[in-house]
Amino acid sequence: MISQSRKVTYKAYMEAAKWGENVLSPVAHQLIFQKKQIENRLNFLRSVGESKAKLNENIANLEAEMVELKIQRKELNIIVQNMQKAVAI
């Protein structure tokens, strides 16, 4: 009797476990798929953020270079004006 009770309990346990796997398997696959989608979106957003940071850094560098180039242009304009005055004399 105890042996038969153990067999019935074990069989019920196995059937419940199998049923749980069958029911939860599609849910698990859906969760895995959604997790991959979220990770892909997160990676994309990270790359956009990194690109934006690099772009801002490049803009700052170019603006600094532009200041230097404007100074050089003013100096060259002064040199050209002085040369024109010297030729005119």
Residue 84 covered by a domain: no
Instruction: Answer yes or no: is 36 within a domain.
Output: yes
**Mean pLDDT on 41-62:** 95
Residue 26: the pLDDT is 87
Using CA atoms, how far apart are residues 69 and 40, in angstroms rounded to an integer? 43
- Asked if residue 77 is part of any domain, the answer here is no
Residue 53 inside a domain? The answer is: yes
From the number of C-beta atoms within 10 Å of its C-beta (0-12, 13-18, 19+), residue 86 rates as exposed
Instruction: With respect to residue 57, please indicate whether it lies within any of the assigned structural domains.
Output: yes
Q: How many independent structural domains does the chain possess? A: 1
User: Whole domain around residue 54: which residue ranges?
Assistant: 1-63
Q: Which residue has the higher pLDDT, 38 or 2?
A: 38
Name residue 49's amino acid: G
